[in-house]
Amino acid sequence: MQKRTKRKLLIISSLAVLLSIVFVWGSSAQVDEYFRMFKRDTESEVAVAFALALIKNHPAAYEIADADMKSQIDEWMTTRQPPNCTNETYFFYGHSGDSVFDVFYDCYTRDGAQYFFTISHIKIKDLKAVDFASVSERFN
């Protein structure tokens, strides 16, 4: 009888710990960003995913973008470090028409600075980023 009780207690406590982890992990901004990076069903989602992948220096940028953009992405990935943001992140995107988007992102870094990122005129074709006009980032 004691073995059965111990087993039930172990199962219940394991489930409680697992649910706690899922709740905490599922409510964080980083998780939201991760899902945004991989949700690419519409042109606007592709634009946001591409911007996020660049901000995070994530290899998903290569699969989101057209193969012709590989050298631009390589240069971006090797010349900068991604910001170390806290959980508070903000996204805005604008649609300029004709499958062209601008994405704005800002967050506070762990050392208290504010980080701003803008990528303008992301051109989307066949749910791939095929071009963009400019990228800028700054810390305040």
What distance in Å separates the CA atoms of residue 134 and residue 129, rounded to the nearest whole number?
A: 13
pTM: 0.78
Higher pLDDT, 28 or 74: 74
Percent with pLDDT over 70 in the chain: 85
The pLDDT score that the predictor gives to residue 26 is 46
Mean pLDDT of 123-128: 97
Q: For 10-56, how does the pLDDT look when each residue is reduced to its tens digit (9 = 90+)?
A: 777 776 666 555 555 444 666 677 778 888 999 999 999 999 999 99
Higher pLDDT, 88 or 90: 90
Domains of the chain: 29-139 (3.10.450)
Contact 61, 75 (CB under 8 A): no
Supply 21's token pair. 């982890």
Phi, psi of 137 (to 5 degrees): -145, 150
Supply 132's token pair. 């963009």
What distance in Å separates the CA atoms of residue 104 and residue 128, rounded to the nearest whole number?
A: 19
What distance in Å separates the CA atoms of residue 17 and residue 80, rounded to the nearest whole number?
A: 38
